[in-house]
Structure 1
């Protein structure tokens, strides 16, 4: 039995989560919800009879649907596990169960069993990638040009590259690619840790799917009965 003089050791607290979300997804979701609520509430207040019921069914369907695909997605990472909150599922993956983090036309995590899960909160932007690649190419070209001019001016020593030749106009990596880089570093450092082992768990978000299904069924019934 533990006595006050010899208290039992307490486990280290779980590390704080790093949270990754899509700013553009949140902005788009808020805008869509504002338009939906404006039109839906207007129809409820000013409509009559069947119009009000259709507006109610549409709100029950659209509001949780838009929220699920824009506001809800998030990725939480700490030293023990990666938690992915997708529109209709929550996936918890200990680092020891992750085989790779892939980034091509979408960002996804691959488990050691071969199962793939998409990271909805970290969407790939091909435009941002191309923009970052152009900045990298311009910076490299400016550095080579500055070194060449410096070599001519400084007797071949390569000094004197003018600062204005270097493009410092923005990042040379797309933001979502930086997120994947961060997650890969965590995976590399934590996949063998004892506290980062365990089983993969997947939970369906019934609290989100339920209202969507209810709104869809009500809307279909109203349209069917005319």
Structure 2
């Protein structure tokens, strides 16, 4: 029985990509239909260049993970890393997988959010303070800065009737990296998870973008 992939994508990236494509289509189609002289051709060439790039950097990135391998779909490449060939998963200013050869591959679909990390750290600090207050018998701060949780939010800033999440608070992308590390630790030695790292260039993205750039350059050169 084949276990389906876990698929991770950036919802913010998808939303931004859809918005940019809508703007590009609106401006580009208007220029093609209503433009005069070279304007329609310049608009068409610009759209052929811009649309693949927007798709590549916003809608395309995804990370597929199963018990055998990690498949990374980045803007211009598709990298398949069997768990047996993965040495580590690192998180800094970007999330990346390090192969045993030492080569690093960035996970575009799982971007690091420093703001989310700071928010999770503040949430964890509040939870720790509430646990300490409860253990010492001191009253806990409520949702509106008062004591005893008299507001709409209970201790730690969670809605009344909702339990605080178990374990330390983590940013969403850090949770995803934790899941991937767990797969690496548990499946790295499995026979089905062995193999070679493969890298394929996304010519279906690069080709149209290069064609648009070439057409735009010709139009600008001929004046």
Query: What is the match of residue 40 of structure 1?
Result: 28
1:80 counterpart = 2:68 = yes
Instruction: Indicate the SS of the match to 1:166.
Output: helix
Match of 1:213 among 200, 210, 219: 210
Q: Does 1:98 find its partner at 2:95?
A: no
Unaligned runs of 5+ in 2: 140-147
1:115 paired residue number: 103
CA RMSD in angstroms, aligned pairs only: 1.7
Which residue of structure 2 lines up, in the alignment, with residue 166 of structure 1? 156
Contact kept in structure 2, 1:72 and 1:86, CA below 8 Å: yes
> Structure 2 length as normaliser, TM-score?
0.88
Secondary structure of residue in 2 paired with 1:83: strand
Which residue of 2 is the match for residue 204 of structure 1? 201
CA distance in 1, matches of 2:128, 2:73: 39
User: Which residue among 51, 65, 68 is the counterpart of 1:63?
Assistant: 51
The alignment status of 1:31 with 2:28, answered yes or no, reads no
Report if aligned partners of 2:123, 2:156 keep a CA contact under 8 Å in 1.
no
Mapped partners of 2:201, 2:212: distance in 1:
18
Could you tell me which runs of 5 or more consecutive residues in structure 1 were left unpaired when the two chains were aligned.
1-12, 152-161
Q: Deviations over 1:130-164 (max 9, x none)?
A: 0000000011011111222269xxxxxxxxxx673
Are 1:100 and 1:109, in contact at CA under 8 Å, matched by a contact in 2?
yes
CA distance in 2, matches of 1:36, 1:131: 34
Larger radius of gyration: 1
Task: Note the C-alpha offset of 1:225.
Answer: 1.4
Hey, what's the Cα distance between the residues in 2 that align with 1:50 and 1:150? 75
Deviation for aligned residue 1:168: 2.8
TM-score scaled by length of structure 1: 0.87
The CA distance in 2 between the partners of 1:202 and 1:177, in whole Å, is 25
- The SS at the match of 1:192 is coil
Q: Which runs of 4+ in 1 moved over 4 A?
A: none
Q: Secondary structure at the match of 2:19?
A: helix
